[in-house]
Amino acid sequence: MTPLALWRRQILTIVSLEWKKTLFARRGLWVFALAFLPALLIYLSALNLRNHRDELQRILLNNPTAAATTANIQIGMPFDRVSSILTGANLNFTTITRANRRTIIRYSDGVSSWDLIFVNGKLTDRTDRSLPALNDRIRQFAAIFQYFFLRLAIFFGCVGIFINLFRGEMLDQSLHHYLLAPVRRDVLLIGKYLSGLFSTILLFGSSTALQFFFLLYAYPGPESASYMATNGWSHFFNYLGVTALACVGYGSVFLASGIVLRNPLIPATIILFWEASNWFLPELLKKFSIIYYLQALCPVVAPISPDVPDAFKMLVTAAASIPTPLAILGILIISTAVLALAALSIRKLEINYSSD
Amino acid sequence: MSSSLITFDDVSRFYGEVLGVNRVTLNIPPGITSLVGPNGSGKTTLMNLMTGLVRPTSGAISVCGISPYDPQNLFRILGYCTQFDSFPSGYTGFQFVLSSLLLHGLDRQTAEQKAWQAIAKVNLLDAAKRKIAAYSKGMRQRIRLAQSIAHDPQILILDEPLNGLDPLVRSETIALFREVAARGAHVIVSSHVLHEVDMISDQVILLANGYVVAEGAIRGVRDEISDRPHQIVIRCDKPSLLASRLFAHDFIVEARLHPDRLGLLIQTTNLSQFHKLINRLALDGITIESITPADDDVNSLYQYLISEEGTSK
Amino acid sequence: MAVYKRTYSSYTGPLSSPRFRFLVLPRYSYQHLFANRFLTGFLVACFFFPLGCAAYIYFVNNLSVFSSLGLSIPDFLKIDSSFFRFFMNFQGGLAYLLSALIGPTLIAPDLANNALPAYFSRPFSRAEYILGKISVLFILLSLITWIPGVLLFFFQVSQAGPGWLSSNWFILRAILLGFWAWILLLSLLAVALSAWVKWKIVAGALILGVFGIGAGLASAINSILRTEFGSIVDLSRIMYTIWSDQLNIDPANGIEPPEAWLAFFAVCFFCLFLLNRKIRPREIVR
């Protein structure tokens, strides 16, 4: 057998031994939760939106003048006055009291849905809770994908899975089984990396696909059909590709830190802060992060998170428009460089379980 | 460099400020070699150095001409049964042995066949399909042994392999070591059970505090210890007469009568002169049934070289 | 017949009080913890901010320049509940980092090394073990949270006079109750996660992740489901709401104080449930 054929066979063996361990270990269940929570949330939201749409249509059918009547509700009106207008318009509404601080009247008039907010018995604000347009939902999805899914879910999922591949076995005192096999250590590294990649792409990729599907599930009919006919499919494959590249990038970083450092938590924390603060770093420094390239590949620009303090918003530079091949190349170069460093390090790796 | 020897050339290994082994120079030939020494003497470190699990701070190691840092070639000819009592989670005994063989690049059918053969050799066929987590300590020891012998290695390194085994399995395992050694392989065993080491070893390496205290065939090592008189048991018909005759010579330092009055325990500082003398005395009418060395076993070597009295000398 | 000599005599010296026997654990833990220079340095650094706050209080209470000019002291130079909320947020953040550093070293190594049978083969109960481990954090976090907080409060009273005390006594209650709740939450989380995962590295990652992912998840839930209740998975938001309420400051958007307290107790009980399941004297064979 040629060395290349042997390495290929050994890598396949390692992947087949590892991927089940990675995916179906009890200690890895939280990664499943992390991956599929956004999909679950979007599904619940889609169900809610569909019900909401049905309700609006029913109200409009039964009470076509309700919207005109409720247009008389003005800021500053007392609670009793507003509730009598709504009762007069023959509309059902719910009252929500938030710890005696605020009282909210929630109702739908067949055209829109509203939250009327009362403080000290007076109407102070009204919030439109109507069915958002698909475009708004696509922008909302972009924000959740970039701020939660990429930066937190995939990030921590990769921390859990890739650090576990070497450091976890070190802590389990079972890594020596691999080191006592006639396998080159760099071949072992590639095998383990590919098994981690397979697991994470399977997990997070299927979650991305489900999220996208549920996003459109809320908009049956021509709205989603026209979206899919124009940008839909390209967005879908873009998101899938970004998910896979995130696993490639973060996976390589955390696999390496699991090999090089006894406590990979410290670099994980530093990388988390580095990636999180990427949006206001100078252009040159941005290039040394994974999220920089991933964001450039995302098909929709995400609105800046409302949690970002105003002072920081001024520092935000618009996401750079890097050509797609360059962005992909950027991630691949970072990952390859990191894996090369890890390969150098694993050659000198020693088994010293007592120190862990 | 000979390709049939495992060589250590001035090898030292420190764990920070703690000494693992220091300035070890060894040439280990094929056969059964026992590493003997108290806890922390450096036995496991020596084995881990041979297998590349740890690297020496200084010095060079060669395992039959192969570097320990060339796992692809080394572990085709070497099997190491470690002392680490941990396994990949969720594996059955069979899966554990099989996975190791698959990593050798064997096709599945051959690997399965070899795995069953190895498991049969350690008498674990009945439990092979059970999860290792449900194994007893002795079974875990045996499945590790099966994994290390499954690819028919030329060099077998075993760290405390008899730990946790019951007497029957112990003797079967020892027979297995002998079988492997008989086909010209290296079997390197570390053990605390001195009488078993004595039974199975062709040569011993005695370690204390990270230093090699002695190495070689047990008899040879004993002969090298000149500051301790040799002890010999003589069974004869006239032990009192024999004792009085022996005491006439300077090289006899002690003669103690056996309680059954049919034997003597002699201590002599010159073994060859003692043998000449005893031949003469036998011709003078004392019937000698047997002459047996009483202290050329591993236990005595351990006492002389490693125990507190020995090292303080 | 065998004849046995009765030579065994048990220990007859003084014993530690059973009520405070759990304090044996912190005593030994501190020896181990303070051997780590980074940790000791971090602990010392945690006192800088309270010292700065004390200097600020002194400065604000001794501004003669405004009165000499016949001006009143500007609002932003007042020591009030907002000042103490800032202090609590800052020291609370440091307490969180300290618990992420120390927490994983508490139970995970005992579980990883199968040491629990050794503890429980002594006159030492599971409850005492957990109490002992929690007290390691409780004592240390107290040093950097409510103790300097109370000192700062009384320093302000000494500077501003009894009039300030009568109108701001609730701040003392907020410092004590708010920090005790925070320390309890951090300690329980740290030891429960440490017990759950057995590995100190992963436990540390989880302690960091629970807060980070919780905050991210909360905003995802709020955004997708158009609600405010998502904030109940955001532990930092829960504590922020509780502190703001105690300090009579409107916590603005998000969950209400009773909901925050409910979420707080739910997390504490969940941690106790985890500890009850995991802290058992059994050996784990891998």
User: How does residue C45 score in pLDDT terms, banded at 50, 70 and 90?
Assistant: very high
The answer on B83 and B28 residing in a single domain is yes
Q: How many domains does chain C have?
A: 1
Cα–Cα distance list, A149 to A36, A231, A329, C103, C207 (Å): 10, 21, 22, 27, 19
- Residue A317: pLDDT band with limits 50, 70, 90: very low
Q: Which residues from B are below 8 Å from C286, CB to CB?
A: 86-87, 89, 133
CB neighbourhood size of A325 (10 A): 8
Please check whether residue A214 is in contact with residue A119, taking contact to mean a CB–CB distance below 8 angstroms: no
Q: Which residues of B275-301 are buried (b: 16+ CB within 10 A; e: fewer)?
A: eebbeebeeeebeeeeeeeebbbbebb
What ipTM, to 2 d.p.? 0.80
- The SS3 of residue C153 is helix
Shared domain for B235 and B216, answered yes or no, is: no
Positive/negative CA dihedral, B99, A342, C210, C193: positive
DSSP class per residue in B3-44: TT-EEEEEEEEEETTEEEEEEEEEEEPSEEEEEE--TTSSHH
Is B1 part of a structural domain of the chain?
A: no
- C-alpha B35: how far from its chain's center? 5
Q: Specify whether the backbone of B34 is left (phi greater than 0), alpha (psi in -120 to 50) or beta.
A: beta
B75-84, B99-108, B264-273, C131-140: least confidently modelled range = B264-273
Look at A181 and B51 and tell me if their CB atoms are within 8 Å.
no
Q: Mutation test of the interface with chain A: which of B49, B103, B112, B145, choosing the one with the most A Cβ atoms within 10 A?
A: B103
Domain-embedded: residue C3:
no
Per-residue pLDDT at B131 = 93
Residues of B in contact with A176 (CB under 8 A): 53, 82, 84
Give yes or no: residues B109 and B43 share one domain. Answer: yes
Listed in sequence order, the residues at least 6 apart from A340 whose beta carbon sits closer than 8 Å to its beta carbon are none
> What pLDDT shows up at residue C71?
67
Q: Classify residue B303: in a domain, yes or no.
A: no
* B166 and B285 fall within a common domain: no
What is the nearest CA distance from A19 to chain B, expressed in angstroms? 13
The domain that holds B236 is classified in CATH as: 3.30.70
**Out of B73, B100, B102, whose CB is closest to A177?**
B100
Predicted pLDDT at C3: 60
Specify if B83 maps to a domain: yes
Residue B164, pLDDT score: 77
pLDDT at B310 over 60: no
What single letter denotes the amino acid at residue A314? M
Q: How far is CA A147 from CA A150, A297, A349, C224, in A?
A: 6, 14, 36, 13
Beta-carbon contacts of B105 under 8 Å, excluding residues fewer than 6 positions away, are A1, A6, A9, A10, A13, A182
Q: Let me know if residue C208 belongs to a domain.
A: yes
Tell which wins on pLDDT, B118 or C23.
B118
| In a shared domain, residues B50 and B71 | yes
Same domain, B130 and B258: no
Contact status, residue B235 vs residue B290, Cβ threshold 8 Å = yes
Please enumerate in sequence order all residues whose Cβ is within 8 A of that of B150, keeping only pairs 6 or more positions apart, or say none.
B79, B97, B100, B101, B114, B115, B117, B118
On the question of pLDDT at C286 being above 60, the answer is no
A57-81 tens-digit pLDDT = 888 888 888 778 888 888 888 888 8
pLDDT of residue B197 exceeding 90, the answer is no
Residue range(s) defining the domain that contains residue C247 = 22-61+74-278
pLDDT at A307 over 50: yes
User: Of the ranges A251-260, B127-136, C39-48, C271-280, which one carries the lowest mean pLDDT score?
Assistant: C271-280
Q: What percent of chain A has pLDDT over 90?
A: 29
Q: Is the Cβ of B177 closer than 8 Å to some Cβ of chain C?
A: no
- B32, B140: one domain: yes
- Residue B233 CA to residue B235 CA, distance in Å, equals 7
Which of 11-50 (A) contact B at CB < 8 A?
13-14, 17, 21, 25
Question: Would C67 be classed as within a structural domain?
Answer: no
Nearest CB partner across the interface for A179, out of B53, B89, B104: B53
Nearest partner of C217 among B45, A173, A39, A271, judged by Cα:
A39
Q: Specify whether B219 is located in the same domain as B233.
A: no
Q: Give the span between the Cα atoms of C122 and B266, in whole angstroms.
A: 52
Q: How many domains does chain B have?
A: 2
- What is the rounded radius of gyration, in angstroms, for the C-alpha atoms of chain B? 23
Find the residue in C nearest to A157 (Cα). Answer: C209
Contact assignment for A180 to B54 by CB distance below 8 Å: no
SS3 state at A175: coil
- Tell me whether residues C204 and A99 touch, CB distance under 8 A: no
**Which domains are delineated in chain A?**
3-48+133-355 (no CATH), 59-128 (3.30.1450)
Examine residue B94 and state whether it is found in any structural domain, yes or no: yes
Query: Are B150 and B188 in a shared domain?
Result: yes
Closest residue in B to A7 (Cα) is B105
Beta bridge partners of B233: B265, B292
Q: Judge if B39 and B108 occupy the same domain.
A: yes
Q: What is the pLDDT of residue B24?
A: 93
- pLDDT tens profile A237-269: 999 999 999 999 999 999 998 888 877 767 777
For residue B196, tell me if it sits in a domain. Answer: yes
CB atoms closer than 10 angstroms to residue B40? 15
Residue C226 has pLDDT above 90, yes or no: no
Please report whether residue B67 resides in a domain.
yes
**What confidence score (pLDDT) does residue A319 get?**
54
What residues in B contact A345, CB-CB < 8 Å? Answer: none
What integer is the mean pLDDT of A202-217? Answer: 94
Q: What is the pLDDT of residue A35?
A: 92
The predicted pLDDT at position B48 comes to: 94
N-terminal to C-terminal alpha carbon distance within chain B = 36
What's the CATH number where B95 sits? 3.40.50.300
- pTM as predicted: 0.79
Chains that touch C (3 or more CB pairs under 8 A): A, B
B159 in any annotated domain: yes
Q: What per-residue confidence (pLDDT) applies to A286?
A: 78
Q: For position A315, what pLDDT does the model report?
A: 47
pLDDT digit string (tens) for A329-339?
A: 989 999 999 99
- Of B196, B223, B250, the residue at which a domain comes to its end is B223
Domain that holds residue B281: 229-294
User: Chain B residue with minimal CA distance to C286?
Assistant: B86
- What are the structure tokens assigned to B197, written together? 């080491």
Report chain A's mean pLDDT, rounded to a whole number. 85
Give the residue on B whose Cα is nearest the Cα of A27.
B89
**Is the domain of B198 the same as that of B250?**
no
Could you tell me if B163 and B285 lie in one domain? Answer: no
CA dihedral C7, C8, C12, C15 (to 10 degrees): 160
